[in-house]
C-alpha cells in the first residue's frame, strides 16, 4: 500500500508539473543531468553591454528581477536598492556572471547570509577563499528556486567540459560535477577548495549560509577577473 501511495503521489505531482522535489528527508538529487538538460541561455551578451563595450549593471539587475518575478519571489524596495550584478570584468555576462544581495555580513560574529541569482547556464567563475586576518570562509548552499550544477575539486566528471562556457575552459580546475535541486543543501567539501556553480535550464535562486565573507580572501583562478 505504501508503494502504491507513493506512485499515486508522484503521478499527481507530474500532472501538476512539479519535478525535482525530494521525497525523503529533504535530500537533494545529485549527479550530472542528461545532455539534453545542459543549460542554454535565452539571453545574448549584446543585451547587457553598451556601444562602448562596458557592462550595464542596471540591465543585469533587471534580468534578475525578471527571474524573481518568474518564480513569484517578492522583491522589496530594500532588495531593489541593494541587489548587484557583475560580469567579473570578463565581458561575457550571460556565461560568466552573477547577481546577489548580501543580507548580512558580520565580521565580529563571523556569519554571512547571501542570495545568489543566476540566469540559465550562467556560471560564477571559479574561485577559492583563503585565510586573511579571518579564517577562510566556509559556506553551504540551499537551492530555493530552479537548480544548479555544483563544481568541486575531485575526479573530473565526463560532462564537465560540455557544461563549462568556452570563455572559462582554460580557467577551471574544479570539474567534479553534481546537481543541487530545490529541497536540498550542500556544503563546500573542504576549507580552501576551488569551486563554482552554474544556473540550470530555468535559472536559479540559491541561498548561501557562510562564515564572514572577507573580500581580501577571495582568489579567482582566471587572472582577468575584476571584482
- The pTM (predicted TM-score) of the whole model is 0.84
pLDDT of residue 18: 36
Looking at residue 215, the DSSP 8-state letter turns out to be G
Distances (CA, A) of 76 to 59, 69, 161: 18, 12, 38
Would you list the domain boundaries of the chain? Answer: 26-220
182 near 144, Cβ under 8 Å?
yes
pLDDT of residue 130: 97
pLDDT of residue 14: 41
The domain defined by 26-220 carries CATH number 2.60.120.10: yes
pLDDT of residue 86: 98
CA neighbor of 143 nearest in space, from 30, 14, 6: 30
Q: Using one digit for the tens of pLDDT, what is the confidence trace for 20-78?
A: 333 233 344 555 656 556 666 789 999 999 999 999 999 999 999 999 999 999 999 99
Helix (H) or strand (E) segment spanning residue 221: none
Ramachandran angles phi, psi of 225, nearest 5° = -65, 135
pLDDT of residue 27: 43
pLDDT of residue 8: 42
CA neighbor of 98 nearest in space, from 86, 112, 109: 86
Question: Which residues does 181 contact at the CB level (< 8 Å), separation at least 6?
Answer: 20, 21, 22, 28, 29, 143, 147
pLDDT of residue 25: 35
CA neighbor of 167 nearest in space, from 129, 128, 205, 198: 198
Ramachandran angles phi, psi of 141, nearest 5° = -130, 140
pLDDT of residue 139: 97
pLDDT of residue 2: 39
User: How far from each other are the two terminal CA atoms of the chain, in whole angstroms?
Assistant: 56
135 near 189, Cβ under 8 Å?
no
Residue numbers of the chain with a pLDDT score lower than 50: 1-28
Q: How far apart are CA 112 and CA 102, in angstroms?
A: 8
Kindly give the residue spans of alpha helices, DSSP state H, lying in the chain.
Answer: 2-15, 57-70, 77-82, 160-163
Instruction: Specify the 3-state DSSP secondary structure of 168.
Output: helix
Looking at residue 124, the DSSP 8-state letter turns out to be P
Q: Residue 60 corresponds to which cell in the numbers above?
A: 543585469
Amino acid at each position: 500500500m505504501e508503494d502504491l501511495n507513493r506512485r499515486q503521489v508522484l503521478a499527481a505531482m507530474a500532472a501538476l508539473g512539479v519535478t525535482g522535489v525530494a521525497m525523503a528527508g529533504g535530500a537533494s538529487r545529485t549527479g550530472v543531468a542528461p545532455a539534453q538538460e545542459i543549460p542554454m541561455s535565452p539571453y545574448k551578451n549584446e543585451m547587457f553591454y553598451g556601444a562602448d563595450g562596458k557592462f550595464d549593471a542596471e540591465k543585469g539587475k533587471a534580468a534578475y528581477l525578471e527571474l524573481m518575478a518568474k518564480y513569484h519571489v517578492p522583491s522589496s524596495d530594500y532588495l531593489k536598492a541593494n541587489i548587484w550584478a557583475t560580469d567579473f570584468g570578463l565581458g561575457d555576462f550571460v556565461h560568466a556572471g552573477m547577481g546577489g544581495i548580501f543580507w548580512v555580513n558580520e565580521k565580529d560574529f563571523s556569519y554571512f547570509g547571501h542570495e545568489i541569482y543566476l540566469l540559465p547556464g550562467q556560471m560564477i567563475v571559479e574561485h577559492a577563499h583563503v585565510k586573511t586576518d579571518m579564517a577562510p570562509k566556509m559556506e553551504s548552499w540551499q537551492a530555493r528556486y530552479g537548480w544548479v550544477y555544483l563544481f568541486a575539486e575531485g575526479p573530473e566528471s565526463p560532462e564537465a567540459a560540455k557544461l563549462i562556457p568556452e570563455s572559462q575552459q582554460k580557467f577551471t580546475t574544479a570539474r567534479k560535477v553534481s546537481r543541487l535541486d530545490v529541497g536540498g543543501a550542500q556544503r563546500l567539501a573542504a576549507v580552501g577548495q576551488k569551486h563554482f556553480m552554474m544556473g540550470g535550464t530555468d535559472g536559479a535562486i540559491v541561498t548561501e549560509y557562510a562564515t564572514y565573507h572577507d573580500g581580501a580572501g577571495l582568489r579567482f583562478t582566471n587572472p582577468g577577473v575584476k571584482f
